[in-house]
A and B are shown apart, each in its own frame.
Chain A
Amino acid sequence: MNTQTSVHRLRARPINLSARLVRLTGRGVVHITLIGLAIVWLVPSLGLFITSWRSPADIAASGWWTALFQPRYTASNYVDVLTARGLGQSFVNSFLITVPATVIPITVAALAGYAFAWLKFRGRDTLFLIVLALMIIPLQMTWVPVLRMFNDPVGYFGLGGVPFLSDLDLRLTGSFVGIWLAHTAYGLPFAIFLLRNFFIGLPRELLESAKIDGASDFGIFRRIALPLSIPAIASLTIFQFMWVWNDLLNALIFLQDVTKRPLTVSINALLGSYGTEWHILAAGAFVTMSVPLLVFFSLQRYFVRGITAGAIKG
């Protein structure tokens, strides 16, 4: 390798005392830099976290840092946001949105990813390149037409003249079905991409011998490909779950029923009406964060893998 030879050409020097001193101060700089950065990264969340456990009077009277030394904490802000401010319902809504919007796309993507990896059909590779390109399309390109479709599905597809159909109220903006479908479609390109790349890495001999033993395509998918892909599917599930749980924009656009708001939309609304009432906002923010943080700390390995792989979705 090129770099290696050029490195060896550098003149060797004995390591003396002064070099060791330099190295020692060097280590000091490393520690100071890292600890400094850690503090900068921790302080913002820590401040809001402590604030969420302080009474409104205390918050107004002194900074949150004083509570580090004179701890006086209360859970009343959390009780308040979960009951009086309606975040309890939003918490339930977030789950009602997120669980189907995670399960459906991964099921659909697993089937498609398997076909793109191991089955033959006309135009397969071209179609896969299109899926790849769709991964980067800004969602802005889709919002207006999709919202029009949700507002009037029958009219959108030009079926207004069909009897019965035109009498039905199929509007999707007030139901969870619309947002499930939207998240499913938006999550598919990345999910298909990831699973296809995982499936194609499976040992070919294994699948071929199953075929020779008389297994059907679907049998191979269900009994061999799926069980072997549990790690990839786990990472993907966590990624999609977090993406939907943390999503504000799609919920804001496609869910127009106030009683069905997820946490992100409710917090955004609270910011509008209680812009500086930190006891409400702090507790609310940590209610939203609780689930992602819990998932992160319990499933860190899968988590980092999933998020890193899907970094450009959106």
Chain B
Amino acid sequence: MAIGKRKWTSWLYVLPALLLLAVFLVLPTIQTFWLSLHSGTGFSPTKFVGPDNYIRLLTQDRFFLKVDEWPPSGALVNNVLWLVLFTTGTVGLGLLIAVLADRVRYETIIKAIIFVPMVISATAASVIFRFVYSPDTNAGVINAFLTRLFPDLAPIPWLGRADLVNVAVIGAGVWIFTGLAMTVLSAAYKSLDREVLEAAAVDGASGWQIFWRIILPMLSGPIVVVTITMVINALKMLDLVLVMTQGGPRNASRTIAFSMFWEVFNNSLAGYGSAIAVILLILVAPVIVFQVRRFRAEEALR
């Protein structure tokens, strides 16, 4: 694969990168593991407490996991909601738009419109959606629409109600990330063998049959890749929650990644927050394994 012989000068090319990765990613990751076994306030907690932070998180922290009451709540439960709704929302809509837009003349325009939210910052998107969800009927377009349609209805504070806030923030997340799913799936869809689809149509298969029996199975590879991407995005969801709701109201919209940020930088509990970071790492770890495996399989074909 390589050209030439093994030389010490080769190291000079990778040295700056390896140094930066070691100092900013590898060493801190190890330190965070160690920190997660400590308690105390400030950025250098010193009291060794073993697994106490983890035990407290999973059994006593009602903002992280609360299961003694139905429905269960807390950051972990909210993240499950994110995983389900955000992933199906982005992948489902992305696939729908990718397949439908292929049949119309204004495909480029539609795809640009759907993709634009991917371009802007989560901060800007949060401002946009705080405006959309506003209970002020001269600002929030949803409440303006609903109160005109049903005059008896009081404006709904979408971000102010514990039972609605998660779905509302997830909606903003779907608005942002559908464009990504659409782009990947559209490229995959266009590379499908057209003759197969046409043959099916000529043979009298309906649109639905073609979609479920042919398109979907043929796209299963790209769909898996996009789904994994969205699962990671859902697990790491933080900035949107931070800017839109600050985890509120009454901590109802916390996610795992948000909890870590809040415990460390708002409550100055670096050890406790580190334990949350470790839990997050454990949750994304299977994806790391998957990536490495997929890469090795690709390399074997090279």
Contacts and interface: CB of A to CB of B under 8 A. Distances in A.
Contacts of B228: 312
A10 B205 CA distance: 8
Contacts of A109: 17
Contact of B113 (A3, A41, A116, A292): A41
Where chain A touches its partner, the secondary structure class is helix
B44 A148 contact: yes
Given A7-B205, A148-B43, A192-B17, A267 B123 contact: yes
Contact of B127 (A207, A271, A293): A271
B74 interface: no
B20 A184 contact: yes
B81 interface: no
Contacts of B116: 41, 45, 293, 296
A109 B20 CA distance: 11
Given A10-B205, A34-B100, A3 B214 contact: yes
B126 to A, nearest CB: 8
Contact of B232 (A121, A136, A141): A136
Given A145-B28, A307-B118, A37 B277 contact: no
Given A147-B43, A188-B21, A192-B17, A59 B243 contact: no
Interface in A223-279: 242, 245-249, 252-253, 264, 267-268, 271, 275-276, 278
A249 B124 CA distance: 14
Interface residues of A, number: 117
Given A59-B139, A143-B28, A314-B236, 20 more contacts: A10-B200, A10-B204, A41-B175, A47-B128, A62-B138, A112-B16, A119-B4, A119-B7, A121-B6, A121-B11, A131-B21, A144-B28, A144-B270, A146-B28, A204-B3, A248-B121, A248-B123, A249-B239, A292-B121, A304-B183
Interface of A: 1, 3-4, 7-8, 10-13, 26-27, 30-31, 33-34, 37-38, 41-45, 47-48, 51, 59-65, 108-109, 111-112, 114-116, 118-122, 124, 127, 129-138, 140-149, 151, 181-182, 184-186, 188-189, 192, 200, 204, 207-208, 211, 217, 220-221, 242, 245-249, 252-253, 264, 267-268, 271, 275-276, 278, 281-282, 284-286, 288-289, 292-293, 295-296, 300, 303-304, 307-308, 311-312, 314
